[in-house]
């Protein structure tokens, strides 16, 4: 079964302005690497603008947040609105945000119905990213919590009793944690540099026994990353016995990334992808949805995504 790739040209229209690290060129860099013949076997489709997207957003966010983001969108070409110093909207941002959410929903539908869809895992190449968006707050480049919305959708529409998110972005996924923290049937595991934006993700933040943070220190590399995963997050994930695994796939822990100072390389991302796929194969029939989060050095991002997606493809068969 081929790996599903969901993306859309409108992600280039989310214009964050000159010098912003979360820029359209990130999509172009990923497009370039995934155009290589190694990825010819991907099943490619467009991230949809789904009729149920607003209903789905409201599972993770109050209506007031949805309406705030809708009202904030500028309508004049070239205009930009800042929701906070880092989080920018342009006229193309609303459609991009809805399609980013829609990609997660579509990916969940496909991997939960592999006989019909012909796929068991998926990669959503989307922007704006989502893991910093708290229930009632857009922040950290993020408007809606794409991965939390997909998780709650999987439960509502497909009857998943236990849904897990593992986040290896260099920044802690405070938004996912905020939405998950009081629900024992939602698992969140995160490695991230600390101290670093957004300042959350301490070991002591455990929710209702469903949050597993493993902070890393500046300068830590693959050995520390793998030890954190092996000692804290992966055993907890196995014990949780998920019906579906979602990945917040941020690649800014790479040693070349300008926004942080961990020392991971492409093989580290391939390693954790393989570990999560092994657990998925044993516990949830290989069902994995990966959603792009950070990664701001274009070369490192492209190479890391390539390794991540190739690992997904090899597991999908």
Q: Which residues contact residue 130 at a Cβ distance below 8 angstroms, ignoring those fewer than 6 apart?
A: 100, 101, 142, 143, 144, 145, 146, 147, 148, 149, 175, 248, 291, 293
pLDDT score of 78: 87
| Nearest-angstrom CA–CA distance, 225 and 253 | 10
Query: Exposure pattern of 168-188 as b/e (b: 16+ CB <10 Å)?
Result: bbbbbbbbbbbbbeebebbbb
Q: What is the pLDDT of residue 93?
A: 98
- Distance, CA of 225 to CA of 191 (rounded, Å): 7
Q: Per residue in 206-225, pLDDT tens?
A: 999 999 999 999 999 999 99
Check residue 317 and give its pLDDT. 75
Q: Among residues 231, 238, 7, 29, which one has the least CA distance to residue 106?
A: 7
The residue among 200, 150, 192 whose CA lies nearest residue 175 is: 200
What the chain holds in terms of domains, given with CATH numbers, is: 4-316 (3.40.800.20)
Other beta carbons within 10 Å of 55: 11
Q: Is 245 helix (H, G, I), strand (E, B) or coil?
A: strand
> Which three-class secondary structure state does DSSP give residue 246?
strand
Residue 132 annotated among the catalytic residues of the structure: yes
Say if residue 86 is exposed, middle or buried (CB neighbours under 10 Å; 0-12, 13-18, 19+): middle
Give the pLDDT score at 220: 98
Could you say which residues of the chain have pLDDT below 50? Answer: none
Q: Which of 65, 131, 132, 254 is catalytic?
A: 132
Question: H/E element holding 314?
Answer: helix 298-316
- Quote the pLDDT of residue 207: 98
């Amino acid at each position: 079964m081929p790996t599903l790739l969901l993306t859309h040209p409108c992600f280039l229209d989310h214009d964050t302005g000159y010098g912003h690290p979360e820029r359209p060129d990130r999509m172009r860099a990923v497009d370039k690497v995934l155009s290589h013949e190694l990825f010819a076997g991907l099943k490619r489709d467009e991230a949809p603008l789904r009729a149920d997207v607003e209903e789905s957003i409201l599972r993770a966010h109050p209506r007031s947040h949805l309406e705030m983001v809708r009202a904030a969108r500028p309508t004049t070409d070239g205009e930009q609105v800042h929701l906070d110093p880092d989080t920018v909207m342009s006229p193309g941002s609303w459609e991009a945000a809805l399609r980013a959410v829609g990609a997660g929903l579509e990916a969940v539908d496909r991997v939960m119905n592999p006989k019909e869809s012909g796929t068991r895992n998926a990669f959503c190449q989307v922007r704006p990213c989502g893991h910093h968006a708290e229930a009632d707050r857009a922040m950290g480049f993020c408007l809606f919590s794409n991965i939390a919305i997909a998780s709650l959708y999987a439960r509502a529409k497909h009857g998943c009793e236990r849904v897990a998110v593992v986040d290896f972005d260099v920044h802690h996924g405070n938004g996912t944690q905020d939405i998950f923290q009081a629900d024992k049937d939602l698992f969140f595991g995160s490695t991230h540099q600390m101290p670093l934006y957004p300042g959350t993700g301490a070991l002591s933040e455990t929710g209702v026994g469903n949050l597993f943070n493993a902070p890393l220190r500046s300068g830590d590399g693959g050995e520390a990353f793998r030890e954190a995963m092996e000692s804290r997050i992966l055993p907890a994930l196995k014990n949780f016995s998920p019906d579906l695994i979602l990945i917040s796939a941020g690649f800014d822990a790479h040693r070349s990334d300008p926004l942080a100072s961990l020392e991971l390389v492409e093989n580290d991302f391939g390693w954790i992808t393989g570990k999560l796929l092994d657990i998925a194969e044993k516990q949830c029939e290989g069902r994995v949805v990966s959603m792009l989060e950070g990664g701001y050095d274009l070369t490192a991002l492209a190479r890391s995504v390539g390794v991540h997606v190739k690992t997904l493809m090899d597991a999908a068969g």
